[in-house]
Structure 1
């Protein structure tokens, strides 16, 4: 049974004078949130045998902070298709993961990651985690999904959401401010 962990990039800076959205860096709160989320997933005992990520600056900086908190160097497969991708494109990327990858981390952007969770996890009454994702998938939040079969078997309504953690759940100073 594969495990997919989705990490949305941390809070980026809109005040940085970069010319392209792709080049936006993290702000101070985003850097702190990335480290915090890495520490939390290390504390929970997660491990990843495959990491795939958007090459956007805010994602590369998120991975750097996450790896610092997680205590391991990350060597992602950079995939430009993840940058601002739709849920359908993200599924295509995931279908291409190596068959022997048991636990993958995908680091990317919204609305694609949120849409992916909502597409893969059926809308059943009483699913509090899915309901939280539906309200908002904030920056640096992590969702973990599992399903029967392999990567090629990932399909609409076929997964279970087993974890949804937001930075504010771990540190109130990382709470919402309209992001």
Structure 2
């Protein structure tokens, strides 16, 4: 059994005038990222391995989750604005970790969640996959190399608005 947590970065700050890659979170986004971390811990969805886009807003989201020191996080440039096929290919290349967290961007992260799930959540927010949207899914596989579209069982879905 393997568990995957797909998270869109929290709300970013458009007022900085920086490049898209360097855009940080806004205050609401920082609070949302902390709330998401609290939710992950409270629900027992603590990852042992994390993968994160190199963009400032994804890195900041990841840092504010307050993951345990035992969770190794790798920042991958290929996840910056990645398409769903690239996200799934990145996951298939993993050799360790029973519970993976992947933090990336829309529209790729939302499309990857749709592609991997057997059944999508019956929530309007899932269709929008807003900032901070997080899907937790389980797979009956022994290796991440066996990850297949349409094989994920929905375990949970939340958005920061439900938590704050």
TM-score under structure 2 normalisation? Answer: 0.92
TM-score, structure 1 normalization = 0.84
How much has 1:155 moved relative to structure 2?
A: 1.3
By how many angstroms is 1:46 displaced?
Answer: 2.1
Closer/same/farther in 2, CA of residues 133 and 4 from structure 1, 3 Å limit: farther
The reply on whether 1:119 has 2:111 as its aligned counterpart is no
What is the aligned length? 162
Determine the structure 2 residue equivalent to 1:53: 52
Q: CA RMSD in A?
A: 1.6
Q: Structure 1 residues 108 and 119 mapped into 2: Cα distance closer, same or farther (>3 Å)?
A: same
Structure 2 distance, partners of 1:159, 1:43, is 22
**Which segments of 5 or more consecutive residues in structure 1 lack a partner in the other structure?**
172-179
Whether the 8 Å CA contact 1:118–1:133 is kept in 2: the answer is no
Task: Determine if contact 1:147/1:158 at 8 Å carries over to the other structure.
Answer: yes
User: 1:159, 1:133 → 2: CA distance?
Assistant: 19
* Pair 1:142 & 2:138 matched: no
Separation of aligned partners in 1, 2:43 and 2:126: 24
Question: Larger % of strand: which?
Answer: 2
Shift of 1:133: 5.5
Q: Give the greater-gyration-radius structure (CA).
A: 1
Partner of 1:97: 94
Structure 2 gaps of 5+ residues are none
